[in-house]
Amino acid sequence: MTEAFPGGAIEEARAIIARYPAGRERSALMPLLYLAQSIEGYVSREALRAIAALLQITTAEVEAVASFYTMYRLHPTGTHVIGVCTNLACKLRGAVAVLEAAREATGVGSSGHGVSPDGAFTVHEEECLGVCDHAPAVQINVANHDEVTPERMRELVERLRAGEVPTPARGPAFASFREACRALAGLEPAPPTPGGGA
């Protein structure tokens, strides 16, 4: 357990469990998977076992859930995870070329779980991301970039490669996929300044 949740992470895991009513600890499974992902960049076998032990369920029960949802990665990811929506609203506005640009610029093959050779990128074709009003929609480390063109996609990749953190269309940027997963686990405080709206 210490490997999957090192240091203070085990305390954070307990705090996540405490969000839910007593006797309903299993509800914490999804945020715990995000927590594990924030540490290793994906949900490792050790993490599956550690979560099972924390919640007193079987590893199979944990993996059944982890493999159901697309935002949990059961294979290692690049530092940055780029998601490109190709669903209809985005496709009509040119998303296929954006996806191809992302794959080409990062060097990721077309296979689903691929990581670029430099370990920096994973590219995912996404279903509707709920930003149809600003298609094509892209997420970099789960932060939105709107109306992305292939040129803009290439530029974003270059800036990430240079160590920059491009400013998203709304909300905070995350310097890596792991950081975003901390927020997904509900652990990152929201930034102090209001920033709603597009």
Partner 1 sequence: MALAFERRLTRHWGDPEVVGLDGYLARGGYEGLRRAVSMTPEEIVEAVKASGLRGRGGAGFPTGMKWGFVPRDTGKPTYVVVNFDESEPGTCNNRELVEREPHRLLEGTAIAALAIGCTTAFIYVRGEYLWQALVLERAIREAYGGGFLGPRIAGSDRTVDIVVHRGAGAYICGEETALLNSLEGLRGQPRLRPPFPAVEGLYACPTVVNNVETLMNVPDIIVRGPEWFRELGTDKSPGTKMVTISGKVERPGNYEVPLGTPFRTVLEELAGGVLGGRALKAWTPGGSSTPLLTAEHVDIPLDYESLAAAGSMLGTAAIMVMDETDCIVDAAARMVRFYAVESCGKCTPCREGGWWATRVLDRLEAGFGRADDLPVVRDLGRNILFRAFCALADGTASVITSSLRHFADEYEEHVRLGRCPLGVPHLEEVAS
Partner 2 sequence: MTDEPVTLTIDGKEITVPAQTLIIRAAEQLGIEIPRFCDHPFLEPAGACRQCYVEIEGQPKLATSCTVRVAPGMVVRTQETSELAREAQVANLEFLLLNHPLDCPVCDRGGECPLQDQALAFGPGESRYREAKRVYEKPIPLSPLVNLDRERCVLCARCTRFCDEISGDRFIELFERGAGERVSIAAGEDFRSPFSGNTIQICPVGALTSETYRFVARPFDLTSADGVCPHCSAGCNLRVDVRRGQVVRHLARDNAEVNDAWTCDKGRFAFRYPDDPARITTPLLRDRGLEPASFGEVLGWVADRCVGSRVAFLTGGRLLDEDYYALSKLARTVVGTNDLDHRRHEGGAVEVWAASRPMSVAYADVERAPAVLVVGLDAEQEVPILHLRLRKAARKGARITVVHPRRTRLHDVAAHVLCRPGEEASLLREAVRGAGPLASVVEELGAAGGAGVVLAGERCSSAGAEAALALARTAGARFGYVVRRANDRGALRAGVHPRLLPGGRAVDDPAGRAALAPLWGDALPSTPGRGRRAILEAAAAGELDVLFLIGIDPLTDLPDGALARRALENVPVKVVQSLELGDLEPFADAFLPAAAPVEKAGHVTTWEGRRQRVEPVRGPVGLSRPDWEILAGLAAAMGGDLGFETLDQLDAELERVLEAGLGTPDAGAVEPFVGPDPRGGEEAPTAADPGSLLLFTYPLLVDEGRLSARADELKAALQDPAFVEVHPDDAARLGLAEGAAALVTTEAGRAEVPVRLNEHLAPGTAFVPFNNPGLVAGTLLAGSFWIPAGLEPATVSRAREASA
Q: How far is residue 80 CA from its own chain's centroid?
A: 9
Contact of residue 186 among partner 1, partner 2, none (CB under 5-8 Å per partner type) = partner 1
Is 68 a residue that touches partner 2 (CB under 8 A)?
yes
Report helix, strand or coil for 140.
Answer: strand
Length of the chain in terms of residues written = 198
117 versus 130: smaller Cβ distance to partner 1: 130
Block residue for tokens 């999804």:
30
Q: Which two tokens stand for residue 160?
A: 């990430």
The contact set with partner 1 (CB under 8 A) reads: 19-21, 24, 26-31, 33-34, 55, 64-65, 68-72, 83, 86-89, 91-93, 96-97, 99, 125-135, 139, 142-144, 168, 170-172, 180, 183-184, 186, 188, 190-191, 194-198
Residues whose CB is less than 8 angstroms from the CB of residue 184 and which lie 6 or more positions away in sequence, other chains included = 31, 34, 37, 38, 71, 142
Q: Which of 63, 124, 143, 184 binds partner 2 (CB under 8 A)?
A: 63
Paired sense of beta strands 80-85 and 121-126, if any: parallel
Q: Which of 1, 10, 15, 57 binds partner 2 (CB under 8 A)?
A: 57
- Asked if 141 contacts 180 with a C-beta cutoff of 8 angstroms, the reply is yes
Contact of residue 60 among partner 2, partner 1, none (CB under 5-8 Å per partner type) = partner 2
Give the footprint of partner 2 on this chain (CB under 8 A). 45, 48-49, 57-64, 67-68
